[in-house]
Each structure stands twice: as structure tokens, then as C-alpha cells.
Amino acid sequence: VPLQKQVTDFMHRLRDPKFVSANGLNGERLLENADPSKVIYSFLLVEATPAGNFIRVQADNFAAPFDFNRSVKLELGSTAKLRTLTHYFEVMAELHRALSGLDSKQLAERGASARDPLTRWAVETLQNEKDLALQPFLDAAMARRYSASPYEDFFTGGGVHRFENFDKDDNERIVSLQDAFRNSTNLVFIRLMRDLVGYHRARLPYNSDDVLANPANPERRRMIGEIAEEESRQHLRRAFQNYANQTPDEILRRILGKGNAERRLAILFFAWKIGSTPSQLKAWLEKNEMTATEAEVAKLFRAYQNPRLTLSDYAYLLSIHPLDLWGAGELRKEPSLAWEKLYAASTEARRIASAWLLENRNRRAQDLRLRIRMEKDAFNRMTPYWQKLGFPFKTLVPTYATAIGSSSDRPVALAELVGILVNDGVRRPSVSLTEVHFAEGTPYETVLERLPEPGEQVLAPEVARTVRKAMANVVEGGTARRLNGVFKLSNGQVITVGGKTGSGDNRFETFSRGGAVTSSRATNRTATFAFYIGDRYFGVVTAYVQGREADHYRFTSGLPVTLLKLLAPTLLAKMDGNLQQPAAAPAIDKTKPAKPAGKAISFSNSQNSPWPIGSFNKPAWN
């Protein structure tokens, strides 16, 4: 409790410009001259024990009833590289298990049939040294080299993207994963994520290469049909959102837009089946304040009454999507029509709207959509791996940019990942309460005690140790080097500190057709440092500015790293004795009175289920 109070007081003092200046927090890539009162800080410190991960400090300076560590969803930038690197070694451990027992002939066969670069590398490595154990295999995997060049277009996330390095000096380099993680080199991790996507894509229940190459592949036809149905549903849903609960006149005005109103009204007359004769067309035009001579009406009638014209043809003439046209027509007739009824009535309209995609002559459009679908399927296969290591959301954003933060995260979830690494791959429950004691000394005295929960081995210990070593390199000579040597115990021992920095300048940008940015609006700015201290403590420090105010800030992950450095003396005063001895389960306080028989209730307060009753004895009420 005293440590919690000290950290909380420190965070509130960070709003004071004098305190900020006195502690050197207004330097370059820190707060500079920006208003310190707008920055939200959070701090989480956890102690790893055999009985669970005990939360020691959970603090922020956010003046509202909201748990900033656990409830917020943020793009935390390059801390996602920690998840990406951990997953990479998890995949490498899988490959080692699958391949290390094979003989030379079997390895050669697996190498010949491999459809992803990670499997090919693993086969080649084990062919060169067949009895290679897991740890040296992972060390070799860490030494793999990637280009950091930003001059490549990547087809990912539904389109073509380019990425940049934070340090322009990296642009011409080819670097190892170890160096890229230490210095947070973006393009290396974009390419690593591409390889990971390739690994999962090669293990999908269909052969993705044959689906793309073979027009007769039955799986291709099935997938194209599903994609067409999904697109149709999305377009119809958008039309419903645009036109629901509007008057017929409002819908008509939106559809007419700009252009030749008489021509567009005539097209709508036939598309919506308003009538079938020239006189009905003339009445429709006049109803909508368009005067036309008999000759003009006859000309419009001849041009657009062709029975061979379909919904798609009329939509093409109006330059809108067929389902936008159809949905507007249905909602014009019945403005209060529910989505379910609209969708149920749209079977034929959806078939017409998507028919073009099913034609073999549109193979380029098919292949584009198939590549997008395959990337989504690969990320869906990857997601359970991340969730097992504490990723807090149901889905990953299917883009290589997930390696640099596009799938977002939560501070407490990052801390859970670091806890798994500190615990040699064991995922243990987070514990904030061990006992609650009610009505002491009364007939209603009740004690709730936490049920012990076993940890789950979710990573190979070798993987955890390899990633911890990489995190230590970040502090020793990388993006968090200002912490190097800071945590020194009273006996002179320097405690190993490891971590991963991350920052995000998140913006809403508008581009011209040529690709130039025409407007840029900040939505938020984040900076995070996920860390461990020795073999006992771990946590996360986060700085955050919300909304357009973020445009005035230039801080990077150097800010949370500096905050942890400033907090080091306070933390060491509490940690010193513990860090000089191995972790152990908390001792039982023998001074407490024995608990009354029949009045003890046990509970579990793991992170996923805070208060389920595990077991209880019925109190012996008097």
C-alpha cells in the first residue's frame, strides 16, 4: 500500500511543469514544451511468485472511475514486436519438434514440399546439423537476417502498403533479428510477419497456391462464392444504414445526386419499376418537378426501357452499386423496413450484383479477393497463439502492420506476456486479493481465501529464456539503454532489466489520388515500456494523450523509460530484500487467530474470472 501511494503521488506530480522541468522530462523526445497536465500515465508492477503473479502496484493519474491498465484499447506501437518475436520462436519450437526426429531422406522430402520460408530454413538448418538441440536452434533463428529496406510495396491488409523505419540510417541495412529487436527496426518485423503469415497460410485446410493457380480448383469456386456473398451483404448493409428511416423524397434526392436529373429519373423509373408506359414516365418526371416534351419523354423511354437491362446495368448507368440502388428502392417503398426483412428479400438482387465476380474472365478481381481472404485465414490461424500468451482481443487485424502495433493491446495484457516470459513459459493467474475477512469477532465472521490455481505451461522454457535475453539487450544497448545499470541493490549487485519500447502517433489522414497527404489529424499519441526487473518483478509504464491535443506532443517511448528510471529508487527500496533471495510463496501469518470452523469460503480471482466461488462451507449461524 505505501508503494502504491508513492507511485500514484509521483504520477500526479507529473502534471506540474516545475516538477517536470526539475526531473529533466522536458527534453527532446520527452515532453519538450507541451502541456504536462494533458498526459495520462499508468503504471503496473507485478511480482512473480509460485502462488501466482501478485499485483503490487496498479496506478494511474486518470481522474475518473476507469481502470486505465485493464480496460483501455490502445495502439502501443513497437511493443507488438515483443508479441511477434515470441510467436516467431513459438513457431520455430514447433518446427524443431516436428523435424528434429526425421532422418536425412525425410528431411529432404519435407524441404521439397515446404511452401513457406520458415519451414525451408528449419529443414536446411537441421540438415546441416541433425542433432541440434532446441536452444542452439533458437539461437540460430535469432541470428537470421532480414532487409530493413523501406523501398518495397507490400500487398497486405486489403491493399498495397509501404512502411518506414524510425531511424532512416537503417534503410540500407540487412540486420539480424537480434539487432532489429534491440533497435526496433520496423521493416525487419514487417518482413518477419510476412514469413509468419506464410507459415500459417501453408497450413490452412486448403492449398492456397493451387487455389490461386488453378481456375478449376473446387475450393476456389467455393471461396469466390463466399467472398461474393460477404461483399454483397456488406454493400446491402451500407445501403440500409444510408437510407433507413428516411422519407421517399430524401432517398430520391440522395440517389439523384449531381448530373442530368431527367436522365437519372428515367433510369430510376425503370430500375424501381415505377411504371411501364411513356405516359407513366412523363407523370413520374412531372411529379419530381421535371418538365419534358412528348419527344423528350419518348427518347428517354426508348433509351432505358430495354428489357435486357438488369439491376447491374441500371446501377452502372447511375454510377452506384447495384445493391445501393435496390436497397434505396425497397426502403423508398417502406421506410421503416427492418434489416432482417430487407436482407431476406434481397436474394435475387444479391445474385445479380455478384454475378460478375463469378465469371472466369474476371480472374484478376478474383485473385485479388482470394489473396485478401487467404491473409485473413492465416491471421485467424495465428490468433489463438497470441491469445494463449495474453492477447486481449478476439481477432488480429489482418495486416503485416500488426507487427508494429495495428492490432492494438492493453497494458495489463502486455504485462501478462512479460510474466509468462519471466516464469519460464508458465502462465500464472494474476492475484490482487489473497484474503477478505468480514465481521471479525462477531457471530457472522466470514473469511474468503483465494483458491490456489496451478500455472499452465504455454511456452517452451527455451523460448521464454531466448526472448528475455533479447529484452535484456534492449536495455543494455538498445532503445531503453538509459535504464542500463540503474537497478543496483544495496549489496552492489546490478539487477538485469529487460524490456520492449513502443510508441504510436496515431492519425486520421486523407490522401490525394496521387498519394500525397492532403490532411492529417491526430487521434492520440502513446508511448509504452513493458519490462522485467530481475527474476521477480515485471510490469508496464504507459503515457497517453487523447484527441487532437496529441498533435502538440512529440514524446516517444523514451518518456516511459525515463519515468521508470525516476521511480527506480522508490521501487528498489521495496524490492531490495526480495531481489537478493529467490521467489517463494507468501508465508502464512502465524499471529492471526485461527479461522472459525465452518465459516471459511474459498474463491478464485484469476484475471479471466475475477470472483467465481470455488468452494465454501455453510456458515454455522447462531
- Looking at residue 618, what is its pLDDT? 36
pLDDT band at residue 583, thresholds of 50, 70 and 90? low
DSSP at 409: B
Which residue bears the cell 496521387?
514
- Looking at residue 368, what is its pLDDT? 96
Higher-confidence residue: 290 or 271?
A: 271
CA-CA distance, 423 to 459, in Å (whole number)? 10
Has this prediction a pTM greater than 0.75? yes
Q: What is the mean pLDDT of residues 359-363?
A: 93
Q: What's the N-to-C CA distance of the chain in angstroms?
A: 36
- Looking at residue 133, what is its pLDDT? 96
CA-CA distance, 528 to 564, in Å (whole number)? 11
Report pLDDT digits (tens) over 368-381.
999 999 999 999 99
Residue type, 42: S
- Looking at residue 39, what is its pLDDT? 95
Residue 416 CA to chain centroid, in angstroms?
Answer: 16
Please tell me which of 398-412, 510-524, 594-608 the model is most confident about, judged by mean pLDDT: 398-412
Look over the chain and give the mean of its residue pLDDT values, rounded to a whole number. Answer: 90
Q: What is the β-pairing status of strands 430-431 and 154-156?
A: unpaired
- Looking at residue 66, what is its pLDDT? 84
In 3D space, the residue among 362, 370, 348 whose CA is nearest the CA of residue 226 turns out to be 370
CA-CA distance, 580 to 212, in Å (whole number)? 59
CA-CA distance, 361 to 180, in Å (whole number)? 44
Residue type, 135: Q
Q: Judge whether residue 481 has pLDDT over 50.
A: yes
**DSSP string of 247-316, one letter each residue:** -HHHHHHHHH-SS-HHHHHHHHHHHTT--SSHHHHHHHHHHTT----HHHHHHHHHHH--TT--HHHHHH
- Looking at residue 51, what is its pLDDT? 87
Q: What is the mean pLDDT of residues 247-252?
A: 92
Backbone angles phi, psi at 353, to 5 degrees: -65, -30
- Looking at residue 598, what is its pLDDT? 41
Q: Judge whether residue 556 has pLDDT over 50.
A: yes
pLDDT band at residue 590, thresholds of 50, 70 and 90? very low
Higher-confidence residue: 515 or 560?
A: 560
**DSSP string of 358-369, one letter each residue:** GSGGGHHHHHHH
In 3D space, the residue among 309, 333, 315, 335 whose CA is nearest the CA of residue 255 turns out to be 315
Q: Judge whether residue 517 has pLDDT over 90.
A: no
What's the chain's Rg over C-alpha atoms?
31
- Looking at residue 582, what is its pLDDT? 62
Q: Is 585 exposed, middle or buried (0-12, 13-18, 19+ CB in 10 A)?
A: exposed
Which residue bears the cell 529464456?
465
Window from 247-256, 468-477, 589-598 with minimum mean pLDDT = 589-598
What residues are paired with 497 via a beta bridge?
Answer: 533
How many CB atoms lie under 10 A from the CB of residue 570? Answer: 16
Report pLDDT digits (tens) over 78-121.
999 999 999 999 999 999 999 998 999 999 999 999 999 999 99
Residue 330: which H helix or E strand, with range?
helix 322-333
Q: What is the mean pLDDT of residues 60-75?
A: 87
Is residue 158 within 8 Å of residue 396, measured between CB atoms? Answer: no
- Looking at residue 523, what is its pLDDT? 82
Helical H runs in 100-247? Answer: 104-113, 117-128, 134-142, 177-183, 186-201, 208-213, 218-243
Q: Judge whether residue 499 has pLDDT over 90.
A: yes
In 3D space, the residue among 389, 417, 405 whose CA is nearest the CA of residue 527 turns out to be 405
- Looking at residue 541, what is its pLDDT? 97
